[in-house]
Structure 1
């Protein structure tokens, strides 16, 4: 009887295995640090405490929605309506406060509306087998249109004495409140995705929905629930923007959905579903916020800012998916 000869594990293979398993997150971390070094050399104000706090405030809406979008993309779906949802809730909370509704009541009503619209989109997509791209594309134009109709195209001012401004401009222990909200969302997203049964089901549905259904998982309900998360998160983003700017506007968060999706994909979450990383989404959001902030500090023309940002993001995603993806395959 033949036996398989014993061979010891190759020295150093553990570190290579770790790098292969975390190549995409490590690559975006390295890219983020590279951006910080570059912009710190290009502007003396980049590494100041005041600018760091400014970056955290700018980062919060993208990160909050990015955490929720990670769940959606993990199931193989996508939500293009998050920018319009943020604009609608942004305008709605301003209108409610202007009409004398106490701001805590207006906030709760806005959050419930965002969650309900998100769930409705998810239910339509899942139960009617309509691609989420189509459903949320229709919602993107519809919600923006409702926001425009509600405000008649004008900004709706919010009285700064109501206390609502604390959400967007306040601080706790020297940290901006929006940043604290983003931290809470990130911690909750990490725990649910990596430690909870719900997160395992989301990954299973994204990997193979039919296999998950045969295993007894409520796939339709799971697919619908992740859109509830993006609806709720978009409402939070809309509230932060309204509070920070002191007004509600139907023109808020234009192009916001592209930044959010870019942050999630840049972090290593697969657009095909089944693979996700909350840590990567955090790093992706930080990278996008730092790029936007750094280009402004370097006095680069705003006409070129979006072009440069797009090229940088495309290059980073190419490096993430092609170079490091090939590295992982070579090590298998």
Structure 2
């Protein structure tokens, strides 16, 4: 290996690591707030990417209709859970959030279908659609069992992953898709060539990390999320709505996953099940970060991207095995250094 090849591999590793960092941060956020290991994070990546590619081709993505269907189910669940204390204000708010909001997104999508819309509008619609799916996914699948054990939540997450993956096959088919790049600009520095898409990956990753830091440090909702992550029972005692915190966490995770997919789909062809493998690599980074540390997760994601890049050069047939094997020494070390404790009860 010469210096030029090493620089190419480092560049590729940093680009992949930036994507894994976003997914790892989303997984840490959701687990800290809700105790859910978000296995469907990869489906958010796939849905965001393929929804964007479908909109760019002038068609209506099935995910827009899925958001409406899930919203109706969430609204019905709200009415059932609050049937003994229904008030017009509560019904109106639930109707607006769960039914009118996704219906407006679907109407806008149908209106713009077949027209040459700017890339920015396609991106915004994709984020709205996938964000709504993430919001309703928590309300339907996780909010009713929020106080159960982590194992039950994990089983529910696996079931959601299988369901969303199957629905993705129905909506997008078995063939892969690519989306238009965010920018066609390109420039060269020494032997390295940087495209507008790769620069967008770096820039968006940095912007989102800074935005999350600002959210958690200086906003009321961010502080509520932090309080819920530290102690759910204590957060409820001081008046924080932990259910709302869970919805916000899932909404942020869905949007981050969709952004990751939009950044990836112009670079490589994505299929309905591609996101699962990408999400697992973000999960490796989150595990190395202990599912609690955002900075360590970001650093671990860059490590995962670098290991994957160099493994593809030296042992391409085993690169996935090498990447996933990174968590073995981490789990072994944590099992030896962390004392056994009973699961916290709410």
Q: Same fold (TM over 0.5)?
A: yes
TM normalised by structure 1 equals: 0.71
CA radius of gyration, larger in: 1
Alignment of 1:131-150 (within 5 A): 131-150=152-171
Match of 2:204? 181
How do 1:160-239 and structure 2 match up within 5 A?
164=182, 166=184, 170-171=195-196, 176-194=199-217, 196-239=219-262
Matched residue, 1:256: 278
Q: Aligned runs of 1:1-332 on 2, under 5 Å? A: 43-45=1-3, 48-75=6-33, 76-99=35-58, 100-101=114-115, 102=117, 103-125=119-141, 127-129=143-145, 131-158=152-179, 164=182, 166=184, 170-171=195-196, 176-194=199-217, 196-245=219-268, 247-269=269-291, 276-297=292-313, 299-302=314-317, 304-319=318-333, 321-322=334-335, 325=338
Unaligned runs of 5+ in 2: 59-113, 147-151, 187-193, 340-346
- 2:36 and 2:323 map into 1 onto residues whose CA distance is 25
CA distance in 1, matches of 2:310, 2:220: 40
Instruction: Tell me if structure 1 keeps the 8 A contact 2:25–2:297.
Output: yes
- Whether the 8 Å CA contact 2:40–2:276 is kept in 1: the answer is no
TM-score by structure 2 length? 0.69
**CA spacing shift, 1:96–1:171, aligned 2, 3 Å:** closer
Q: For the Cα contact (< 8 Å) 2:13–2:308, is it kept in 1?
A: no
**Aligned residues: CA RMSD:** 2.8
Write the distance in 2 (CA, Å) between the matches of 1:277 and 1:197: 21
Change (3 A) 1:97 1:185: same
| Structure 1 unmatched ranges of 5 or more | 1-42, 270-275, 327-332
Task: Give aligned pairs, total.
Answer: 269
